[in-house]
Amino acid sequence: MGVEHALRPRREESENPMTWSGELLHIHVAPAASMEMEELAEGTLVAGRGIEGDRYLLGTGSYSAKPDIREVTLIEVEVLEALAMGEPKVPGTKATLEPIDHRRNLTTRGVPLNHLVGRRFKVGEVVLKGGRMNFPCKYLEELLGIEGLYEGLLNRSGLNCSIEVGGTIRPGDPIVPLD
């Protein structure tokens, strides 16, 4: 019973894959397309619109033509850490990408963003709903001068979300699933 029992997942984990909790690490906005991102000590998220001071709320950003909810964007710090180690091995690009460089609004830790498409979750007092996974863009690779960055971010370039319940968020706020 010892080893076999230890290898089986706990009952609640096997029945509900949404038993994680994470943390908000950074908040960034840019007032217009191509402008440098600014780090905020706190951000005010407006339901149905975006983060105060950000290009998505102000309508001054550049976006793909695909219909999309993009009131706030998130990325996992674990992706940045993997890029620094050259993961994935193909293309094997080692890139130091600081949270202010990736052009997403919120940097998280311990949050499985791929699992949040179509799901609701809380960041502090704010309620977000996952839209589609974000696609990397060649612009970021050109802007930072890191060849292979586009391929390194495929399938892990973040999550686009709508804001269902607005409020103020701060680094350190917990992130938890609702659905």
Residue range 36-47, pLDDT digits in tens: 899 999 999 999
11 pLDDT tier (thresholds 50, 70, 90)? very low
Is residue 30 in some structural domain? yes
67-91 pLDDT per residue, tens: 568 899 999 999 999 988 888 776 6
Q: Which domain holds residue 49?
A: 22-76+97-146+154-177
Instruction: Determine contact, residues 103/70, Cβ cutoff 8 Å.
Output: no
User: Is residue 3 one of the residues assigned to a domain?
Assistant: no
Q: Please tell me the predicted confidence (pLDDT) of residue 65.
A: 56
Judge residue 156's burial from the number of C-beta atoms within 10 Å of its C-beta, 0-12 exposed, 13-18 middle, 19 or more buried: buried
Instruction: Decide if 173 is inside a domain.
Output: yes
- Residue at 1 is within a domain: no
Question: What CATH number corresponds to the domain at position 65?
Answer: 2.40.33.20
91, part of any domain: no
The pLDDT tens digits for 112-169 are: 999 999 999 999 999 999 999 988 878 787 888 888 888 888 888 999 999 999 999 9
- Position 132 in a domain: yes
Q: Is the pLDDT of residue 3 over 50?
A: no
- Is pLDDT at 6 greater than 60 in this prediction? no
Based on its alpha-carbon atoms, the radius of gyration of the chain, rounded to whole angstroms, reads 17
Residue 33 lies in a domain: yes
**Rounded Cα gap, residues 49 and 71, in angstroms:** 6
pLDDT of 51 > 90? The answer is: yes
Greatest Cα-to-Cα distance within the chain, rounded to the nearest angstrom: 61
**pLDDT on residue 177:** 96
The two structure tokens encoding residue 161: 């979300």
Is position 4 within any domain? no
Structurally, the chain folds into a number of domains equal to 1
Q: Which burial class, exposed, middle or buried, applies to 110 when counting CB atoms under 10 A from its CB (0-12, 13-18, 19+)? A: middle
- pTM here? 0.84
- The token duo for 148 is 């292979």
Q: In a 3-state reduction of DSSP, which class is residue 76?
A: strand
Strand partners, 128: 121, 163
* C-alpha 175 chain-centroid distance: 12
